[in-house]
Amino acid sequence: MNGEPVSDLTRDAVADALGRFDARLLGAGERRHAAVVVAVGVNADSVPAVLLTMRPARMRAHPGQFALPGGAIDPGESVAQAALRELREELAIEADESDIVGRLDDYATRSGYVISPLVLWIGDRIQHTVPNSAEVAEVLLPTIAEVDVEPRFIRIPESDRPVIQWPYKGALIHAPTGAIVYQFREVVLRGRSTRVSHLEQPVFAWR
Q: In this predicted structure, which of 28-32, 99-103, 108-112, 119-123 has the lowest mean pLDDT?
A: 28-32
Mean pLDDT of 137-149: 97
Kindly report the pTM of this predicted structure: 0.94
Digit-coded pLDDT (tens) for 28-68: 888 999 999 999 999 999 999 999 999 886 655 555 689 99
* Among 135, 122, 140, CA closest to 53: 140
Domains delineated in the chain? 11-205 (3.90.79.10)
Q: Which residues contact 181 (CB under 8 A, 6 or more apart)?
A: 38, 50, 52, 68, 142, 147, 166, 173
- For every residue of 52-89, which 3-state class applies, written as one string? EEECCCCCCCCCCCEECCEEECCCCCCHHHHHHHHHHH
